[in-house]
Structure 1
Amino acid sequence: MQPFLIKPAYHAAIWGGQRMREALGMTVPFEKTGECWAVSAHPAGVGEVASGPMAGKKLDELFREHPEVLGGGGEFPILAKILDASDVLSVQVHPDDEYAARVEHTLGKREAWLIIDAPPGAELILGVKPGTDRETFRRAIEENRLEAYLLRRKVAPGDVLMIPPGTVHAIGRGILLYEIQQASDVVYRVYDWGRLENGKPRELHVDKALDVIDFDARPPEAAGVVLDEAGCQRRVAIAGEAFALEVLEISGRYRREGDSFFAFTCLGGEGHLVSGEERLLLEAGDSVFIPAGAGVWGLEGHLWGALVYLPDRAGLRAELMAKGASSEELGKVCGLEGGA
């Protein structure tokens, strides 16, 4: 099967806006567009094939009927989004696989963020202050004092951060980001800034959140390893057990192959995905799926974006070492040595 473009699913949100249109030139369907599910077979927002002979087919149907495009059987394991935080998101946390399977009968949710655009001084909430424990956290929620216990981190365009399960987090106002995550929609909200939706506060999930919060979680930035390859500056930022994330800056012709499927989302510029005789135009906001076993494929033009896939971590480590990456540099690839 040839690579194909994807028609995404969109979601409105109380915190959404028009940043995808303003910054990326995307056509968005809602006044407060919060999320573009750019690459998704999740039932809450299934994408469609948007090019080639299977155009119009839902991704979940395609993957069930043609499991070979994923490299085997099973559900499509990841979900890629673009998020517009025109207002701050709720303070929330996600469970790991064990808790999610036992309580929610689904996958847990580990995720990573690539900052596309952010105003000067933009901040995320990522973790809680040292010394905060379960009871202190609960009392702070009950007494509406939680903000005093949250750790804030300044971010800028190009930053990549891993958000392991159990990490208290929130995306700050004005940030536009790309998110790659496990294919799960489990969110435990603990604080929502006193907002009302349709005249009512949104539901909180304090007890479940307290079950899963890691009060010591303070994830570092995934600085990654930067490789200057033919036609591309390739930044390998994350290589965890659930997904790998690379940031590609294309200036010419770049060629790639591998055993995994790949999904690339263009976040700026313009170019083409090339595979055999296939040439697919890519503009900001477009995503393309490259099936497992597609052989050599390439990106051409002047564009940048996020590439995600399922990594062979041992093989990737060997590749990076062969290309001159030091042990210190390898340590900056989140998850490469295990645990992410």
Structure 2
Amino acid sequence: MWIFNPILKSTIWGGERIATYKGIATDLEKVGESWELSGVEGDESVVAEGNDAGMTLPALIDRYGASLMGHRNYEKFGNRFPLLIKFIDAREDLSVQVHPDDAMSQKYGMPNGKTEMWFVLDAAEGARLANGFKNPVDPADYETLVKSGEIENVLNFVEIKPGDTYFIPAGRVHAIGKGAFVAEIQQTSDATYRLYDYHRKDKNGNERELHTELAKEAVNFNDTDGNPVDYKRVENVPVNIVRCPFFTTNLLEADHELMRDYRENDSFVALIFTSGEAVVTCGEEKTPAHQGETILIPASAKGISIEPKGNVAVLETYV
């Protein structure tokens, strides 16, 4: 099992909740993102403790290979970790954006696109997200909608609360609104095309770049299926909240020991602790974890136990 140092990102729209949530200190202001598990080139996660402390995630995969990744994953991805896991704190609205799918990404020399999901950790009163369009949009109207800012009026905005879960396939226009605090699980890619950014200016007085043409190529103009995932929370029983070709995510909420059997699961598992604290046991190894931490379990693990101290909530994700 491994825990990694978070990669904190100061953003134009970031807030102050991430450091407090994770129980860490930072001198950064406007921390909008904490990259919890990343194989993105230039932003690779580094092991925080133990015998492998100081190793990057790709170097770790080099060392352990299929025993970490799983045989199928290792054959497909090599030492490129297939998921990017973040916490996002939006004090201001994020841009209206879209991510390319695998086909478009490979056309432009990138290995894959970006399908993702959000799990809402906290939400200020009135906080909202945009996920897809209210109704299909005519591509001929696209540039007018973007240039005028009217793109906001055709988006499917919904008010959010903790526990809400949203699936965002590549090609779906989306936006995180101010007051939202979410966990984000996605394919490993940093490809984001901004359609609209409220004419915000950076510290140098320049408006951030838009990617109007690339975004138009990426957008699915008929995508109106942006409602939250329908699931029922059940304590002490794993609940599936997202299953797609790129990852599976379960919600684990427990007040006593929870056993997980991974013998049929040929993949690493990431445990994202969204609240509470617990001790995770894997074989002879025991690792304490608390809210805001992410533990990586190797594919060679036959199973784990999670022993909560009180109540604990965990997102369990794998490929």
TM-score, normalised on structure 2? 0.91
How many residue pairs align between the two structures? 305
Q: 8 Å contact 2:255–2:312 — kept in the other structure?
A: yes
Structure 1 residues 88 and 104, CA gap change in structure 2 (3 angstroms): farther
Which one-letter code corresponds to 1:55 in the other structure? Answer: A
Aligned equivalent of 1:287: 294
DSSP-derived class of the 1:79 partner: strand
Q: 8 Å contact 1:116–1:178 — kept in the other structure?
A: yes
Q: 2:259 aligns with which of 243, 255, 258?
A: 255
Deviation at 1:46, TM superposition (A): 1.2
DSSP-derived class of the 2:137 partner: coil
DSSP-derived class of the 2:10 partner: strand
The whole-number CA distance in structure 2 between the counterparts of 1:4 and 1:23 is 20
The whole-number CA distance in structure 2 between the counterparts of 1:110 and 1:131 is 20
Deviation at 1:205, TM superposition (A): 0.3
Q: 8 Å contact 2:149–2:198 — kept in the other structure?
A: no
Aligned equivalent of 2:144: 139
Q: 1:244 aligns with which of 227, 241, 248?
A: 248
Quick check: 1:59 aligned with 2:57? yes
The whole-number CA distance in structure 1 between the counterparts of 2:55 and 2:176 is 33
DSSP-derived class of the 1:252 partner: coil
Aligned equivalent of 1:304: 313
Structure 1 residues 131 and 237, CA gap change in structure 2 (3 angstroms): closer
The whole-number CA distance in structure 2 between the counterparts of 1:192 and 1:111 is 20
Deviation at 1:5, TM superposition (A): 1.5
Aligned equivalent of 1:34: 32
Structure 1 residues 99 and 115, CA gap change in structure 2 (3 angstroms): same
Aligned equivalent of 1:70: 69
Deviation at 1:64, TM superposition (A): 2.3
Q: 8 Å contact 2:133–2:155 — kept in the other structure?
A: yes
Structure 1 residues 29 and 223, CA gap change in structure 2 (3 angstroms): farther
TM-score, normalised on structure 1? 0.85
Aligned equivalent of 1:177: 182
Moved over 4 A (4+): 225-228
The whole-number CA distance in structure 1 between the counterparts of 2:136 and 2:185 is 30
DSSP-derived class of the 1:142 partner: helix
Structure 1 residues 129 and 104, CA gap change in structure 2 (3 angstroms): farther
Q: 8 Å contact 1:168–1:213 — kept in the other structure?
A: yes
Q: Quick check: 93-102 or 131-140, which moved more?
A: 131-140
Which one-letter code corresponds to 1:214 in the other structure? Answer: N
Structure 1 residues 23 and 286, CA gap change in structure 2 (3 angstroms): closer
Aligned equivalent of 1:213: 219
Deviation at 1:147, TM superposition (A): 2.2
What's the C-alpha RMSD, in Å, of the aligned pairs? 1.6
- Sequence identity (%): 33
Is there any run of 5+ residues in structure 2 with no aligned partner, and where?
none
Is there any run of 5+ residues in structure 1 with no aligned partner, and where?
311-340
Q: 2:202 aligns with which of 197, 205, 208?
A: 197
Q: 8 Å contact 1:226–1:236 — kept in the other structure?
A: no
